């Protein structure tokens, strides 16, 4: 079994989408290699990314068309030009948006796929051994995903629950008919996955050669409008008449929301999962092992118990907790993981069962500095209260305000305890102090968002939960992370022994 503990060190959380590039969104191109060089210069060991899956309505990487596929937006167009699959400078002729600091997903959706289809039409990949091996190695999910995406285009982007009944229910004669009808479209989506994995593998090899490990992120739930639910309806709590979710995921009302959060993902049928020895989950681990050195399981607490809201509900008030698979699932994950480290996102209502499961499996949990300043010196997110080294301390997560946005404009009264810890009242030193606090902790790993390295305000916030429109868009500008930031981080690494 893999030892899930990570080496003492430090890292940066930066989504691939946030990398600089001339093409509207971060890619696996030169800027990604430059970022790895920056991490090396800054003495960092870890690059943490958000989920890499193809995004759907709302652009959230946590609501993906597939738990296995990669986002075609991340395929680098300059690399395709170098292969001769696109004319030189072809991608520069296309409009990618007005603002280099924010992703325009609408523009990407309109302008990216014609170029990928142009590259596909020129490619001679289909009979190569590399492509045939890729198809064999990913047979569990690839064909379903490609047919799903081709059908989605055929039905003008509608969710699969609105498709014609025969293909919605995957009747064998309908599946065969659509495979033939959409043969070229299906081949295009397979080409995109081949290029995604090919480019990522080269980038990951580059990172490994420079001592940089990549931490991925695995959403616990599958999106309703996904190849996973369409392809494996028996693994989810769906009704037999219409395949609509009987129960959906969310979290109950709390101090932050009177109506709770309604995520809308269909819930697993854990008995059906167990009956096939958690094969779908085992495949997710195998797929993650191709992409990452470690993976954070989002909402890990849902493995011990999950919150079930009746399908069709408008809020999560009338939900109820149900028991999850617990150790049965983690045993399957551990058996499957060969080298992949598993990290537990254990935030929220952490029950004794969650703590016991983490300890038994040796999974590192999470601490978040941004959660520590409620005025209680015993707050578990404050480093002086950490009881063990096998954890990861984050400045904040993708769902939080930036540190400058959270602290630097608060009243003196609100900041009293933070000032007491700092031993001073200089607001300009708050973010630096929080870095020192985390780096000097006993936690094995410390990770800060790139926005916090740059001390950016909330205009650089990645996501505000339960909102639509302005999320998942922030991007680095070219050269924004430079020698000054690398020098500061490498200083911290040296002072706090995080080599």
129 has catalytic annotation: no
205 has catalytic annotation: no
Strands 445-449 and 391-394, sheet pairing: parallel
Q: HSE on the CB side for 214, CA within 13 Å?
A: 28
Residue (of 95, 110, 66, 366) closest to 219 by Cα position: 66
Sign of CA dihedral 210, 201, 278, 365: positive
The string of DSSP letters for 373-386 reads: -SS-TT-TTSGGG-
Q: HSE on the CB side for 453, CA within 13 Å?
A: 28
Please write down the HEC assignment for all residues of 416-431. Answer: HHHHHHHCCCCHHHHH
**From the CB of residue 331, how many other CB atoms can be counted at a distance below 10 Å?**
15
- The alpha helices in 182-261, defined as continuous H runs, are 183-209, 227-231
Contact (Cβ atoms closer than 8 angstroms) between residue 43 and residue 489 = yes
Q: If 0-12 CB within 10 Å is exposed, 13-18 middle and 19+ buried, where does residue 431 land?
A: buried
Contact (Cβ atoms closer than 8 angstroms) between residue 26 and residue 18 = yes
Contact (Cβ atoms closer than 8 angstroms) between residue 22 and residue 92 = yes
Sign of CA dihedral 88, 92, 96, 102: positive
59 has catalytic annotation: no
Distance CA 97, CA 59 (A): 16
Q: How many residues does the chain have?
A: 499
Distance CA 261, CA 399 (A): 14
Selected catalytic residue, list 37, 198, 289, 399: 399
Selected catalytic residue, list 59, 78, 228, 298: 298
| Residue in the block written with tokens 């090899």 | 205
Selected catalytic residue, list 225, 269, 345, 485: 345
Distance CA 167, CA 371 (A): 47
- The torsion angles phi and psi of 91, rounded to 5 degrees, stand at -70, -25
Secondary structure percentages of the chain, helix, strand, coil, to 5: 45, 15, 45
Tell me the catalytic residues: 298, 345, 399
């Amino acid at each position: 079994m893999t030892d899930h503990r990570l080496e003492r060190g430090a890292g940066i959380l930066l989504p691939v989408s946030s990398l600089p590039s001339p093409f509207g969104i971060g890619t696996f191109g030169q800027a990604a290699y430059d970022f790895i060089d920056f991490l090396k210069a800054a003495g960092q060991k870890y690059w943490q990314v958000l989920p890499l899956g193809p995004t759907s309505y709302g652009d959230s990487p946590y609501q993906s068309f597939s738990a296995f596929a990669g986002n075609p937006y991340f395929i680098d167009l300059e690399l395709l030009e170098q292969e001769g699959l696109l004319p030189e400078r072809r991608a520069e002729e296309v409009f990618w948006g007005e603002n280099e600091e924010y992703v325009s997903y609408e523009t990407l959706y309109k302008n990216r796929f014609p170029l990928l289809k142009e590259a596909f039409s020129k490619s001679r990949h289909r009979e190569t051994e590399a492509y045939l091996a890729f198809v064999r190695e990913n047979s569990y999910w690839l064909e379903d995903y490609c047919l799903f995406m081709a059908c989605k285009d055929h039905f003008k982007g509608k969710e699969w629950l609105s498709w014609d009944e025969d293909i919605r229910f995957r009747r064998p004669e309908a599946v065969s008919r659509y495979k033939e009808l959409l043969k070229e479209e299906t081949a295009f989506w397979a080409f995109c996955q081949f290029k995604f994995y090919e480019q990522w593998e080269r980038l990951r090899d580059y990172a490994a050669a420079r001592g940089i490990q990549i931490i991925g992120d695995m959403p616990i739930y599958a999106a309703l409008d996904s190849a996973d639910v369409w392809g494996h309806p028996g693994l989810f709590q769906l009704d037999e008449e219409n395949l609509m979710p009987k129960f959906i995921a969310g979290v109950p009302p709390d101090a932050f929301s009177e109506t709770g959060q309604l995520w809308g993902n269909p819930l697993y049928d854990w008995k059906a999962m167990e009956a096939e020895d958690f094969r779908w989950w085992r495949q997710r681990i195998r797929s993650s092992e191709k992409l990452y050195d470690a993976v954070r399981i989002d909402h890990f607490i849902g493995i011990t118990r999950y919150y079930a809201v009746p399908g069709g509900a408008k809020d999560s008030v009338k939900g109820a907790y149900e028991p999850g698979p617990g150790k049965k699932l983690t045993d399957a994950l551990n058996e499957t993981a060969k080298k992949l480290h598993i990290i537990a996102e254990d935030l929220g209502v952490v029950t004794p069962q969650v703590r016991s499961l983490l300890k038994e499996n040796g999974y590192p949990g999470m601490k978040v500095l941004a959660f520590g300043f409620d005025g209680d010196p015993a707050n578990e997110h404050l480093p002086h209260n950490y009881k063990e080294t096998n954890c990861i301390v984050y400045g904040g997560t993708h769902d939080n305000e930036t540190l400058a946005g959270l602290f630097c404009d608060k009243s003196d009264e609100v900041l009293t305890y933070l000032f007491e810890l700092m031993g001073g009242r200089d607001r300009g030193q708050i973010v630096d102090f929080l870095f020192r606090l985390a780096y000097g902790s006993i936690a094995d790993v410390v990770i800060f968002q790139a926005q916090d390295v740059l001390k950016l305000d909330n205009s650089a916030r990645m996501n505000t939960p339960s909102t639509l429109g302005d999320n998942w868009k922030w991007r680095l500008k070219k050269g924004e992370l430079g020698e000054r930031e690398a020098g500061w981080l490498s200083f911290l690494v040296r002072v706090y022994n995080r080599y």
